[in-house]
């Protein structure tokens, strides 16, 4: 049983763990538990798995009707989790963070089900910190996580990512054809997450002519919230076809394969994927996340000279200039690529499956 979600940073690692378990045990039954109305309720069935939804959400920072209903949601989710566990009878439960993993794992532990938490970020989330004393193992993506968790429970596995990203060799020519790009010109990829990022989109649209004038080709994932707006604004620019705008990039393996430099938010999943892809990266951490964990994720890479960091507040003025500068600097690109690749953990999903098996053996 796998629980959690809310964002791609939780959902995709969860699916990767399930896929790794299925690859080893074809007949295994895997049930997901998520939060109603969140992206896991769509993405998990698309990946071929069954999911049950809990009526649960997070606490808002200000007084809202949602906050008043929060205690009732928790009670309802605990009761429903108990029923799901008793019916499914799991051999193990895995929590990947997000609203649903709290009540599900709490009831799993209470019902003597062996449990593992998977923490994606360099700064532990509240749900996982609360569960740490109850579960048997905590799989983490960064060193020194005993700051947050009991040291004897911590296992450094890395973050699980989709398998196709680990196999990028010899895909550049195919990728260039797929996206209609010139394989002899530099490619900048811009990733704001599945929902998009206002700062990155504004930085792009305000400086798009600099990129076109520099003969830089662009794969730009602007997110579903901004797609129509960015389409309209891009249509007013003299675009020679070198700027490819997407709501969401589905063929991520091809996108990574053809990209020479990547601009990205610093969510845990993005950091892990870019490490495995070995791409020179400029991180622009989102300031709109709990405990500023994206900045901490990015700083962990910068400290190892494995990435460049541009602050969100400075991005509109300097981000594209930095990107063009990096695209021209072959030595810096090679250095960043080598260092970020050295931090990759490509076997994370299988190592987490190993830890699950130890608990149920």
- Binding site for UDP-N-acetyl-alpha-D-glucosamine: what residues are annotated? 7-9, 121, 162, 194, 268-273, 294
- Under a CB-based contact definition with an 8 Å cutoff, are residues 262 and 189 in contact? yes
**Residue 158, helix vs strand vs coil:** coil
Closest CA to 321 of 206, 237, 225, 226: 206
Count CB atoms within 10 A of the CB of residue 62.
6
Contact, 358 vs 352, CB < 8 A? Answer: no
Among 181, 198, 172, 175, CA closest to 319: 198
Look up residue 218 and give its two tokens.
């662009």
Is residue 344 within 8 Å of residue 276, measured between CB atoms?
yes
Residue indicated by tokens 């905590």? 138
207/244 Cα distance (integer angstroms): 15
At residue 252, φ and ψ (nearest 5 deg) are -65, -30
Between CA 198 and CA 225 the distance in angstroms is 9
User: How far is it between the farthest Cα atoms of the chain?
Assistant: 63
The residues pairing with 34 across neighbouring beta strands, listed in sequence order, are: 53
Q: How far apart are the first and last CA of the chain?
A: 16
* Residue stretches of the annotated binding site: 7-9, 121, 162, 194, 268-273, 294
């Amino acid at each position: 049983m796998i629980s959690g979600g809310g964002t791609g940073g939780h959902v995709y690692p969860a699916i990767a763990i399930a896929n790794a378990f299925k690859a080893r045990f074809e007949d295994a039954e895997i049930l997901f538990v998520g939060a109603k109305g969140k992206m896991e309720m769509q993405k998990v069935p698309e990946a071929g798995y069954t999911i049950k939804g809990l009526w649960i959400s997070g606490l808002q920072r200000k007084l809202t009707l949602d906050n008043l209903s929060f205690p009732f949601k928790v009670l309802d989710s605990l009761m429903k989790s108990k029923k799901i566990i008793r019916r499914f009878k799991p051999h193990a439960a895995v929590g990947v963070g997000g609203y649903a993993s709290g009540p599900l794992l709490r009831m799993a532990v209470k019902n003597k089900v062996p449990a593992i938490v998977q923490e994606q970020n360099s700064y532990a989330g509240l749900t996982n910190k609360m569960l740490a004393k109850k579960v048997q193992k905590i799989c983490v993506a960064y060193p020194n996580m005993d700051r947050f968790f009991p040291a004897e429970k911590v296992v450094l596995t890395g973050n699980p990512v989709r398998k196709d990203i680990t196999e990028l060799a010899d895909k550049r020519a195919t990728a260039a054809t797929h996206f209609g790009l010139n394989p002899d010109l530099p490619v900048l990829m811009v990733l704001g997450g599945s929902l998009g990022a206002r700062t990155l989109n504004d930085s792009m649209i305000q400086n798009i002519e600099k990129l076109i004038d520099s003969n830089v080709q662009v794969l730009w994932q602007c997110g579903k919230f901004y797609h129509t707006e960015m389409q309209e604004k891009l249509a007013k620019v003299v675009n020679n076809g070198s700027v490819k705008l997407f709501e969401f990039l589905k063929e991520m393996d091809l996108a990574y394969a053809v990209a020479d430099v990547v601009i990205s938010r610093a969510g845990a999943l993005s950091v892990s994927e870019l490490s495995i892809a070995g791409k020179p990266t400029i991180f622009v951490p989102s300031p709109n996340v709990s405990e500023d964990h994206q900045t901490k994720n990015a700083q962990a890479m910068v400290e190892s000279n494995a990435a460049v960091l541009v602050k969100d507040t400075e991005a509109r003025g300097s981000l594209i200039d930095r990107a063009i500068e990096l695209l021209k600097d072959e030595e810096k690109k090679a250095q960043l690529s080598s260092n970020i690749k050295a931090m990759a953990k490509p076997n994370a999903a299988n190592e987490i499956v190993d830890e699950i098996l130890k608990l149920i053996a």
